[in-house]
Amino acid sequence: MAFVGGLGVGDLGVRRRASFASQRRRPAVLRMVAVGPRVGHGFDLHRLEPDNKLILGGVVLDHSVGCVGHSDGDAVYHCVVDSVLGALSMPDIGQLFPDKDPEWKGAPSDVFMRATKDLMEEKGYEIGNLDVTVILEKPKLSPHKGKMRENIAELLGCDLDRVNLKAKTHEKVDALGENRAVACHTVVMLVPRPLEHEAQSTVAEATAVTVDDPKSLAQDWMQMASKRVMVNLEAGTAAIREAEAAIQNEHVLQNLYETIKSRKGADPSSSWTAKLFSKGRSKISQKVGEEGTEVVIAGIRDDKPELIKESADLLYHLSVLWADAGVEPDEVWDELRSRENTSGIAEKQSRSS
Ligand SMILES: [Zn+2]
């Protein structure tokens, strides 16, 4: 695919190769706090014609035809770059490095790879894993796949086992199969960079350039690190609270029942529940009926707060009745569970028969 011009990329700070060097000088405080993984997809295609070099994944291949296109036409690098930029929700390679700009004419595509790695790290990410599929009829890529993987892993600053590369032919059909084009697909997952990597980058940057104020750089770093910790801590705490609440909700009726049961046989003057038990089954059943009626009234009146209150009263008195009759909540839950796989109508029929 030929690059198309577009978007003023000055705001992104990646207009010129020279500016990438100055990018590296930006202290780590400008890095963003990454939360959660991000997925990106890339696709690229170049025409193959005589008098062009065939370079894929940084490997120069001996072949009669080569890639037509901007820069050195490395469809694999272009495709990898697009997937990483996509995962970062950034403009694509053609917008970041417009082909109308003579700066990129014949440029080696590893420049785009390095720039993309910088952008990815500035946003607080690194490669989780990358899967590349190259479609080329000729020449055979199997002898070169290892080197391509190594090049990609090195340029993106990740371990080799995070990069996979497959090569396919196009079964001699269409432009790809007739060796008139080469295509590439990539899928990438980016993951937040561990804090120690951020720290290493900061140290590397601080030692590579003259730092006017090392103390303030250190403070910036501390701030960024503590912000990252706080974000993760807050997310973790919220998840734990939610799980605890869910567990408590699940056990609230069981806990109520246990409390009620413990009052059985106690001195009637010691608690309301003990007094209710002392009045006997008829009185308890009658209370359940009364609370049921209150629920009905609240329902008909469409009074939600009252419905909640009366439902709680009903469940309390129902639990007293269960405890008095020796019915365990589990027996009721089992009955409900046995109905889960039955349709409403079938269940009703089985009850009425
Ligand atoms: Zn391309």
Q: Cα(81) to centroid of ligand 1, in Å?
A: 10
Q: How far apart are CA 28 and CA 31, in angstroms?
A: 5
Q: pLDDT class for 19, splitting at 50, 70, 90?
A: very low
Amino acid at 275: K
Phi, psi angle pair for 45, to nearest 5°: -145, 135
CB 3 within 8 A of CB 104: yes
Q: Cα(66) to centroid of ligand 1, in Å?
A: 12
ipTM > 0.90 for the complex = yes
Q: Cα(48) to centroid of ligand 1, in Å?
A: 12
Q: Cα(46) to centroid of ligand 1, in Å?
A: 6
With vertex at residue 52, the alpha carbon angle to CA 108 and CA 6, rounded to the nearest 5 degrees, is 55
Q: Mean pLDDT for the chain?
A: 84
Instruction: Give the CATH number of domain 9-209.
Output: 3.30.1330.50
Q: Cα(160) to centroid of ligand 1, in Å?
A: 23
Q: Which of 89, 90, 78, 5 is nearest to 42 (CA)?
A: 78
Q: Cα(138) to centroid of ligand 1, in Å?
A: 18
Count the alpha carbons within 13 Å of 91 in the hemisphere toward its beta carbon: 19
Q: Which of 239, 325, 249 is nearest to 282 (CA)?
A: 325
What is the per-residue pLDDT across 295-335, written as a single tens digit (0 to 9) for each? 999 999 999 999 999 999 999 999 999 999 999 998 998 88
Q: Is 15's pLDDT higher than 70?
A: no
Residue 292 DSSP code: H
CB 58 within 8 A of CB 81: no
Q: Does the structural domain 250-352 have CATH classification 1.10.287.1080?
A: yes
CB 73 within 8 A of CB 91: no
Q: Cα(82) to centroid of ligand 1, in Å?
A: 9
Q: Cα(1) to centroid of ligand 1, in Å?
A: 5
Q: How far apart are CA 109 and CA 55, in angstroms?
A: 9
Q: Cα(162) to centroid of ligand 1, in Å?
A: 23
- Give the pLDDT mean for 24-28: 42
Q: Is 1's pLDDT higher than 50?
A: no
Collapsed DSSP state (helix, strand, coil) of residue 97: coil
Q: Cα(201) to centroid of ligand 1, in Å?
A: 30
Q: What are the strands, taking DSSP E only, across the chain?
A: 38-49, 54-56, 59-61, 66-67, 125-135, 163-168, 181-192
With vertex at residue 314, the alpha carbon angle to CA 308 and CA 320, rounded to the nearest 5 degrees, is 140
Between 301 and 197, where is the model more confident? 301
Domain edges within the chain: 9-209, 250-352
Q: Cα(69) to centroid of ligand 1, in Å?
A: 7
Q: Is 107's pLDDT higher than 50?
A: yes
What is the per-residue pLDDT across 332-350, written as a single tens digit (0 to 9) for each? 988 888 888 666 666 566 6
Residue 315: exposed, middle, or buried by beta-carbon count in 10 A (0-12, 13-18, 19+)? middle
